[in-house]
Amino acid sequence: MVSPNASGVRIAGRYVLCDEIAHGGMATVYVGRLVGSAGFARTVAIKRLHAAYARDPDFVSMFVDEARLAARIHHPNVVSTLDVVALEGELFLVMEYIQGESLARLERLASDRGERIPEAMAASMIAGILHGLHAAHEARDERGEPLGIVHRDVSPQNVLVGVDGVARVLDFGIAKAAGRIQTTRDGQLKGKLAYMSPEQLRGEVTRTTDVYAAGVVLWEALTGRQLFVGENEGDLVTKVIQGCREAPTAGISPELDTITLRALSRDPKRRFATARDMARALEDAVAPVATSKIGDWVTELAAATLLDRARRVENIEYLSAEGAPVPAADAPTEGGTDARSTRVSSGPAMPVVEDVLLTQLTTGVTSHPAVLDPARARGAWRAVVGALGLLLVALVGAGLLRGSTDAAGSAGSAPPSVKAVVADSVPAAPVASPDMPVRAAADPVANEAVTNAPTTPSPHAATAPASAARRAGPHVVPTRGPRCDPPYYFDSQGVRIFKKECL
């Protein structure tokens, strides 16, 4: 079931529809996230068909069947179909996400500049599309039987050129199902008539139908204008049936003119037999352009749109990784700013687990137990060590001050050691009497207790803390022979150790 949360984000099964990036007469395209278990997530493109299509049982049935067939197509020049989701009143096509622009928009952007797509670049892109179409025409099922897939709707709107310079054809599986609803009850034919072959208008569809449509796309890419334009549908159909006789380059590139006009032949038998044959003809006529150069051209021509979309996708992926709800395209923030520009600047990273993310996306609740990552943990330890260091310095300062006071009263007294000062701030061991054996020098607390022990034990000496003994004031340790002057020495750590023979 598709459930929107408070910010308008929709969840369709294991998919999250995040941000609208395109809108057409048949569907709306969103950037989405495939959310799996164990923190798995992937950015995808989700095409959500409009309600008029999703409510037609015949269309839904054919759409699902055709989309499953389209998932059998695997080729670099085809946008892969990953999944089809049919829920109550909703229909979704899940595809791989490609950062790029449609050929239709690239043509408009170039026209706005007063430019046309370079001929060699146009030929290279259409050749790639033809290779993708051939892969679809040759697709087979699990038993090796031909699937007989024909796109039926090859047009600049269904050609996506990525920033990687690869031209891809998309929307396999929709066209055949759409053809069933394009004929309305009153008999009117709807769709992209300008790209339909004459036989397609009569209801006859073969693989050469896609070759014809590719020829129309090539003609328009070379000229920078539409091939068939009519005042109404009837006028447009008439021009399609009459065919095209105008060479796209006007003799500038005779080879391209010949290839284009052959693909646009009214007679299917006079066209290229396969899409691959036409692709190879283009590659032989014009040296293919490197995909890196095409990618640079796309990036420069559509820089503003691509930059904005890349930022939005990055934002979606960042919020998804942080475990926060991903904003919808029309979900404003409190300040009225577009939610797509909202960026989480702090907060511990949370593992993206399906239950956690979907719960947060559905309810809008993003609170979770604090989890320190390694960097934060190191910072916390540094803070603790720093605080202890300051405390130690303060204690040492106090001890040195006290030591100078003791020195004024007794010239033979040594300043207390750091360990002695620290030991003075914690409960010490019971104060030893003169007859108690001295502990090893490695125990500074015990040594400090012995150092401050009174010469004559009192009834309460066993429980008196070392700090109380220190506050009692200076005392005199009896000497026993010349080696007992003084009766103690200091070890390498600055701890005062009494000589056994002087006790």
Is 256 within the bounds of a domain? Answer: yes
204: domain CATH number is: 1.10.510.10
The mean pLDDT of the chain is 73
310 belongs to a structural domain: no
d(CA 9, CA 17): 6
What total of structural domains would you count in the chain?
2
The mean-pLDDT minimum among 125-134, 359-368, 413-422, 475-484 falls in 359-368
In a domain, 120, yes or no: yes
In a domain, 232, yes or no: yes
In a domain, 325, yes or no: no
What is the C-alpha separation between 13 and 86, in angstroms, rounded? 10
* pLDDT at residue 325, rounded to an integer: 55
Average pLDDT over every residue of 196-211:
93
Catalytic one among 153, 171, 257, 424? 153
**Contact indicator for 368, 323 with CB cutoff of 8 Å:** yes
Mean pLDDT on 96-103 = 94
Long-range contacts of 438-447 (CB under 8 A, 24+ apart): 438/497, 438/498, 438/500, 438/503, 441/491, 441/495, 441/497, 444/417, 444/419, 444/420, 444/493, 444/495, 447/495, 447/496, 447/497
- pLDDT value of position 313: 86
If one compares 279 and 27, the residue with the highest pLDDT of the two is 279
* 134: in domain: yes
* CA distances, 23 to each of 27, 157, 457 (Å): 6, 11, 94
Residue ending a domain, choose from 289, 320, 336 = 289
Q: What domain range includes position 166?
A: 101-289
pLDDT band at 472 (very low <50, low <70, confident <90, very high): very low
Residue 264 φ/ψ, nearest 5 degrees: -90, 10
For residue 397, what pLDDT band results from cuts at 50, 70 and 90? Answer: low
- For the cut 90, the answer to whether the pLDDT of residue 264 exceeds it is yes
- pLDDT tier, 172 (very low <50, low <70, confident <90, very high otherwise): confident
If you write DSSP's letter for every residue of 394-459 in order, what string do you get?
HHHHHHHHHHHHHHHH-TTPPPPPHHHHHHHTSPPPPPPPTTSPPPPTT-HHHHHHHHT--SS--T
Residue 124 lies in a domain: yes
Provide, rounded to the nearest whole percent, the portion of the chain with pLDDT above 70: 61
Strand-pair category, 15-23 with 10-12: antiparallel
128 and 229 part of one domain? yes
Residue 220 reports pLDDT greater than 80: yes
Counting Cβ atoms within 10 Å, is residue 315 exposed (0-12), middle (13-18) or buried (19+)?
buried
pLDDT at 379: 56
Give the other-Cβ count within 10 Å of 164's Cβ. 16
Instruction: In whole angstroms, give the CA distance from residue 27 to residue 22.
Output: 9
Q: Are residues 279 and 404 in the same domain?
A: no
Looking at 247, 269, 289, the residue that finishes a domain is 289
Distance CA 276, CA 296 (A): 26
Please say if 153 is a catalytic residue: yes
Of 239, 257, 289, the residue at which a domain comes to its end is: 289
256 and 122 in a common domain? yes
**DSSP string for residues in 15-48:** EEEEEEEEE-SSEEEEEEEEE-STT-EEEEEEEE
pLDDT classification of 9: cutoffs 50, 70, 90 = low
For residue 91, the SS3 value is strand
Per the domain annotation, does 136 fall within a domain? yes
pLDDT at residue 25 in the model: 73
